[in-house]
Structures are given as structure tokens and as C-alpha cells.
Amino acid sequence: MRRIFVVFAAILTVVGCSGLVFAHELIVKPSKMTAGKGDVLPIELQSTHQFIVKEEVENVSRIKAGVFRNGKVEEAELKENEPELRIDYQVKIADDGAVLVVAAKDGEVWSVTNEGGQPGTRKALEAKNLKVLRASKNDKFAKAVVNASKGDKNFAAVVGQELEVVPVTNPADAKTGEYFQVKILYKDQPVSVPVWATWDGFAPELQNTYAYYTESGSDGVAKIKITAPGLWIVRAAKDGEPGVEGEYDVRNLRSVLTFEVK
């Protein structure tokens, strides 16, 4: 009986952090962070627990990505690149000033069952006689600021992602040793949530390892201490949103901003 209790307790521990266990981070990584007007810029869409090391190819049918221009997202054609463990797309640099490259994934449902983690809704897995402890849906949002320049305001445009990391500090003004400010929005309103940040090369051999942790305040603003130059990501998470009966019990949201510190 004690052995059964221990196993069940271990499963509950997994359930409690199921969003972390199953959800790779979705990261927009441009081939370069500065491009000329008229250039076609290749973009990598990565999925990983290591930063920034590609680990798997997301389900391209559940993703929309492109460039945010004139108040809307102009969608790009996405191509799975299995050998390179990424999704490829391109955006045209048609404007002066900062360009926002974006992506969003309508997440699959993952369930913790008596036979381990399984893809599928509660109803579908219970129909297979599995015991579902928790079913969760993980929706992901990502964007990158390209061509950040001093005095430009485009970097702070709100794309309208359900959970969004909006720079308050212009990436062109970011400096090592100073704080970089972001505002976290949930359904376009400021929200207080956990915020993590790291830079490319900090600890790429370790999973789920960041250089910095903080929380946004009631005004949605979080301050990240910049500790090195290079490519940075800021990640916000909002867990525990209500589920859909019979489908999933809880919905978790992730949002990642990519920018460069020179």
C-alpha cells in the first residue's frame, strides 16, 4: 500500500508542474537582428527547454506566424525543417524602424495518466480506459524585435497576443549592468505573473535554466537586470486558466520576447 501511495504522490507532483514538464518554449529567432529595408529575413521558430538550443519541431498546422505591420499580422508560409529541428519562414523588411516578427501556437492537449504523459483530451483518453489525473492545454506566443534603433517607437507596439511581453525599454538603449523593463499584458490588460530571462549562451547545456527571475507588478511592469550583451529572451507564464469540460482541466499560457543587447 505504501508503494502505491508513493507512486501516486509522485504522479501528483508531475501533475502540479505539468505545464513545465510538457511545454517546450516557443522562440522566434531571426537569422540576424538587423536587416535593410527591402531585405527578406529568414526566421527560425524553435521549440526547446534549453536556451537557445533547438530540441523539436512544433506541429506546424497549429501555428501562425509572420510580421506585425499596420496593426495586423501578415502571415508567412511555414515550412517544417525536421533535420534542423525547427520551422522556417521569411518576412520582408518593408518599413523603417523596428520590426516585430511574431508567432503563436494553438496548443495540443496533454494529459497525465496512470500510464504516464499522453497526448489527447480527457474524454478521448478515458475512452481508452486510461485514468486521467489532469489534462492541460498549453498555448504559446512569441515575438522578436528586429532593427531596434534609438528614438524609434515601433518596438513597443502591442500585437494583441493573449499573453504578451511588451518592451518598455527600447532594446537599442539596453546596456549591460542596467535594467531592461517590459510590460506583461493578458488580454491587453496589465497582469502580475512570473517572469524569467536569459541570454543565448548562459547555460545552453541545462534545461529550464535562466539567468534571471522576477515578477511583474500590478501595473504589469517587470525589470530584468542585463548581465551580458547578446541575444536575450524574456519569458512570461500564466497558468491555471479554466479548462473545457471533457477536454482539458486547465489552460497554461507562455509568451517569449526575443531582442538583442549590443
Q: pLDDT tens across 107-125, in order?
A: 999 999 999 999 999 999 9
Chain segment 158-178, per-residue pLDDT in tens: 999 999 999 999 999 999 999
> Dihedral sign, CA of 107, 109, 111, 115?
negative
Q: What is the rounded CA–CA span in Å between residue 62 and residue 120?
A: 15
List, in sequence order, every residue forming a beta bridge with 42; answer none if it has no partner.
Answer: 90
Reply yes or no on whether the pLDDT at 88 is more than 70: yes
Nearest to 46 by CA among 21, 70, 80, 75: 80
State the first-to-last Cα distance of the chain, in angstroms, to the nearest integer: 59
Contact between 241 and 253 (Cβ < 8 Å): yes
Q: Residue 72, by phi and psi: left (phi above 0), alpha (psi -120 to 50) or beta?
A: beta
Cell numbers representing residue 53 in the block: 538550443
| DSSP class of 56 | B
Three-class SS state of 215: strand
32-52 mean pLDDT:
95
Please report the beta strands in the chain, taking only residues with DSSP state E, as ranges in sequence order: 25-30, 40-48, 63-69, 72-75, 79-81, 86-92, 99-105, 109-113, 116-119, 132-146, 163-167, 179-186, 189-190, 194-199, 212-215, 221-225, 230-244, 248-261
Contact between 174 and 259 (Cβ < 8 Å): yes
Among 9-13, 26-30, 203-207, 241-245, the range scoring the smallest mean pLDDT is 9-13
| pLDDT category of residue 95 using cuts at 50, 70 and 90 | confident
Measured in whole angstroms, how far is the alpha carbon of residue 137 from the centre of its chain? 14
pLDDT at site 96? 83
Specify the number of domains making up the chain. Answer: 1
Reply yes or no on whether the pLDDT at 11 is more than 90: no
pLDDT at site 90? 97
CB contact set of 237 (below 8 Å; sequence gap of 6+): 19, 193, 194, 196, 252, 253, 254, 255
Chain segment 228-256, per-residue pLDDT in tens: 999 999 999 999 999 999 999 999 999 99
* Domain interval for residue 124: 2-261
Task: Tell me the pLDDT of the chain averaged across its residues.
Answer: 91
